[in-house]
Amino acid sequence: MRLVVTGGAGFIGSHVVDRLLGDGHEVAVVDDLSTGRRDNVNAAARLHVVDVRAPELRRIIDGTRPAAVVHLAAQAAVSRSVADPAFDASVNILGTLNLLDACGAARVRDVVYISTGGAAYGDTDVIPTPETHLTVPASPYGVSKVAAELYLHCWAALAGARGVSLRLANVYGPRQNPEGEAGVVAIFTSRLLGGRSCIVNGDGEQTRDYVYVADVADAVTRALARSAATGPINVGTARQTTVNELYRMLAGAAGIERAAEHGQARPGEQRHSALDWSRARRLLEWTPATPLERGLAETVAWARADRRATDTRGEATEVPG
Nearest CA among 287, 156, 142, 266 for reference residue 215: 287
d(CA 161, CA 156) in angstroms, rounded, equals 4
d(CA 112, CA 70) in angstroms, rounded, equals 5
Catalytic option among 141, 172, 212, 247: 141
CB 295 within 8 A of CB 189: no
Told to judge if 121 belongs to the known catalytic residues of this protein, a careful annotator would answer no
Residue 273 CA to its chain's centroid (Å):
16
d(CA 170, CA 168) in angstroms, rounded, equals 7
User: Residue 49: helix, strand or coil by DSSP?
Assistant: coil
* 238 Cβ neighbours under 8 A, 6+ residues apart: 128, 209, 274, 275, 276, 277
Catalytic residues: 141
